[in-house]
Amino acid sequence: MSAGSITRHLILLLTALWIFEAAATELTGTVWRVVKILSMDDRVYAPDDRSKYTLELLSKGRAAIEADCNRGTGTWISEGPGQLKFGPIATTRALCPPESLSERYLAQFEWVRSYVMEDGRLFLATMADGSIIEFESINVPPTATVLGEEIHTTDASELQKIVLTRLLDRYAEQQRIEVTGEEIDAFVESQQLGMAEHGLTEEKSLSSEEIAQLSQMRRDWGRAMIRQWKIHHALYQRYGGRIIFQQLGPEPLDAYRKYLEERRSAGDFTIHDKAFEDTFWRYFTDDTMHSFYQPGSEEEAQALTTPWWTRAAGNE
């Protein structure tokens, strides 16, 4: 693969990542149940019991589906505003009653291409026969409450993501953690130098629009990574403790745990489901899940005192 091809692939990857995150914010965290399926010929298929036909779009592009006597799991992705596609759906093969909508409902997902949210309802549109699947949110007991907001989800990892996002957003605001244009410039320059070391510098084959898009993606990515590092740095400065390796940079595991314990004691969040609570805390208490920086090593000393991108590509 040429450098230009890899660069173009990077554009598409970063674009998809940011669009997907925007869609995830809107679509995840809610359990939906089918109100009706409207076909192009205006025939309406409405379940006798809506609670038997559900959809939950989970984090990391996972989907959980209930279709009467069957269950399904699969993947989903959003490649643009209002766009939605599902990957293959793996389902159980139970034989539901003759009046069941199980097969009809499950058959829709292969053809879904877009969505609209209106008045608290979700509408999925297909490309095959132009069907519209209408959902309403399920009024289920909250799994947790964070900063006064009730969280409704059946997925433990989704719950952890929501709780951490809400708390750390407020923490960043309280600590006045901001990212400057100069810091973003330095981050982008570091990434470009790193790509150059691997021969990924050929952008002349890209259109001006693609170059502008790539530049914006790099800056958006830089802003997110710098903000995350600054939050980790602030937590580590206050609470100390051990640091773990993560794909997106070092993470102060013990500092996270102490901060969360403090916030729980202050009443900032409560997990109402015992099973979810155990899963939530396991990440912060089970050492077997992580790889740690060597305590007392120079690498550990630099991990959250010197930004990792300033030490990359020969900038040590």
How far is residue 154 CA from its own chain's centroid?
A: 15
Residue 7 has pLDDT above 50, yes or no: no
Kindly tell me if the per-residue pLDDT of 300 is higher than 60. yes
The angle subtended at Cα 167 by Cα 264 and Cα 54, nearest 5°, is 95
Question: Do 99 and 112 touch, CB atoms closer than 8 A?
Answer: no
CA 287 from centroid of its chain's CA atoms: 24
Stretch 77-91: mean pLDDT, rounded?
89
When the pLDDT of each residue in the chain is averaged and rounded to a whole number, the result is 85
Each residue's pLDDT tens digit, 103-127 = 999 999 999 999 998 888 999 999 8
Question: 279-296 pLDDT, tens per residue?
Answer: 999 999 999 999 999 999
Query: CATH 2.40.128.270: which residues of the chain?
Result: 31-137
Indicate if the pLDDT at residue 62 is higher than 50.
Answer: yes
Which one is the CATH code of 31-137: 2.60.120.260, 3.80.10.10, 2.40.128.270, 3.50.50.100?
Answer: 2.40.128.270
Question: For the chain, what's the residue count?
Answer: 316
**Share above pLDDT 90 across residues of the chain, in percent, rounded to a whole number:** 56
Contact 5, 200 (CB under 8 A): no
Q: In terms of Cα–Cα distance, which of 111, 109, 135 is closest to 123?
A: 135
268/169 Cα distance (integer angstroms): 13
